[in-house]
Amino acid sequence: MTRTNPDSCPGVLRLHQAADGPLARIRLPGGRLEPRQLQSLAEAALELGDGNIELTSRGNVQLRQVRDAAALSERLAGAGLLPSDTHERVRNIVASPLSGRIGGWADVHALVPALDLGLRAATRLAELPGRVLFTLDDGRGDISGLGGDIGVHATDADEFALVLAGRDAGIRVSTADAVPVMLAAAHAFLDLGSDQWRLHEVDDGARRVIDILGLSPGLERLEFGATHDIPIGWLDQENGLVSLGAAVRLGSLSARIAEFIAAIERPIFITPWRSLVITDLEEWPAEQVVRVLAPMGLIFDANSPWLHVSACAGRPGCAKALTDVRADATAAVESGRVAPTNQPAADSDTNGHATEPDRPTSNLDSTATDPAAPAPNMASASSAVPDLGPAIELRSADDVMVAGRQHWSGCDRRCGRPRGLVTDIVATENGYRITEDTKQATDRLRIAPPTPKLGTPVVSTGPAADAGAAGPRAIPQPPTTATESG
């Protein structure tokens, strides 16, 4: 395949003209946001956009309906979110969100600043297509299966596998060499002289990059597959503190909720599953955060049907969309027409919150955090748009009832479709066409059962709901002695 159009991936300085107005994409290397940066984004969304912050499948964020591009650029630069005018679109770096705090062989977040700085320091690397993705996996397998272009995957405390075009290249490097080798691979990608946007699109691209690097692959190869291990709920860190994993409905975070999160004054990580992790909390403040933010719409329940549903922009944001798929997907969830695979509808309210107050359920099991545990072989699920089974007859929006992981699309392009096993619900002129992945019938999701130690999901109503009425500062502030790392 040869690309005939230039790469038009948006950024802050080059907006995308969406059907509902200009769209800006802000890169967040490693998904990390400092509280003041999230506050700046919330203010920008309210004052310059549509009032929401969209989370992307690369751990970045977007603002829609941008009214003043120059004002946005100035504001983001002041917050440290636009450190380079020339390289802003190539800072696509995703990393294991829990790395350095829970599980994994190595803390890959320690590599993110060096990789970001190395990208920005090389003038030539500004020529990389905006779709090139760098991946840093700490060995648990949550990131390498995303199909990145250049990355590393921890195999031990001081050893990484080089990942090219989403596959183990057979090359092993030390922690000290990980970033230099990735940067050299980025230069090698440009040396190929291809018009393609992604390494896997280049004929024999990975082997040719290895040849340019002058490295000799070994025989051992790791297999990577797409997973759906969203870190949700109460997550005990190895240092005795707590992280809170929260899903965001269809990846759209309101500016008001973002201000509440910023007021917690702890590091935040945006994940490639359009969720977020609030880190380094003491136990009591973490409980109060959940009691305030769950009623406002953040999802701390690993059993919520919202974790199964994703959607493209749809109308009115996309001119190619045939309908408002987000409204239809929301109606399906709220009416109980979305359930976990091979399970009846959850015993919860329409917002996906359980009815007993306690700590939120975590979905992490040993295979999600222990890199030594055998990972499931899901290589067959690793393509972005896998082979699909027979399409079900067309249905009206109110008649769509699908169990398990599903993606709603406004047209056949299926933008934003997650990797792995997904049922496609695609709008047509005559209703929705439902097409099930051929593997979906037997092995749907890797969301583990609740861990008994962590209790039942969070309550969504009651006195705590009123705590949010006073504004962001109503959230109790964690002690200042808590550590900040990663």
Q: What is the mean pLDDT of the chain?
A: 84
CA distance readout (Å), 285 to 262, 281, 288, 289: 14, 7, 5, 6
Average pLDDT rounded to a whole number, residues 129-149: 96
The model carries a pTM of 0.83
Could you tell me which residue, 173 or 363, shows the higher pLDDT?
173
In one-letter notation, the amino acid at residue 129 is P
At 404-446, the pLDDT tens digits run 999 999 999 999 999 888 999 999 999 999 998 755 444 433 3
- According to the model, what pLDDT value does residue 99 have? 98
- 8, 13, 18, 23 alpha-carbon torsion, rounded to 10°: 130
Q: Which element (helix H / strand E) includes 246?
A: strand 242-247
- Residues 38 and 263: their CA atoms lie apart, in Å, by 9
Task: State percent of the chain over pLDDT 70.
Answer: 78
Does 390 score more than 70 pLDDT?
no
Kindly give, in sequence order, each residue whose CB lies less than 8 Å from that of residue 309, ignoring residues fewer than 6 positions away: 250, 329, 332, 333, 338, 406, 407, 408
- Residues 433 and 374: their CA atoms lie apart, in Å, by 37
- According to the model, what pLDDT value does residue 5 have? 60
Helix 175-191 to helix 112-121 angle (10° resolution) is: 30
pLDDT band at 229 (very low <50, low <70, confident <90, very high): confident
Does 453 score more than 50 pLDDT?
no
At 42-94, the pLDDT tens digits run 999 999 999 999 999 999 999 999 999 999 999 999 999 999 999 999 999 99
Does 454 score more than 60 pLDDT?
no
At 154-195, the pLDDT tens digits run 999 999 999 999 999 999 999 999 999 999 999 999 999 988
At 459-479, the pLDDT tens digits run 333 323 333 333 332 222 223
C-beta of residue 458 within 8 angstroms of C-beta of residue 354: yes
Buried b (16+ CB within 10 A) or exposed e, 388-398: eeeeeeebebe
Task: State percent of the chain over pLDDT 90.
Answer: 73
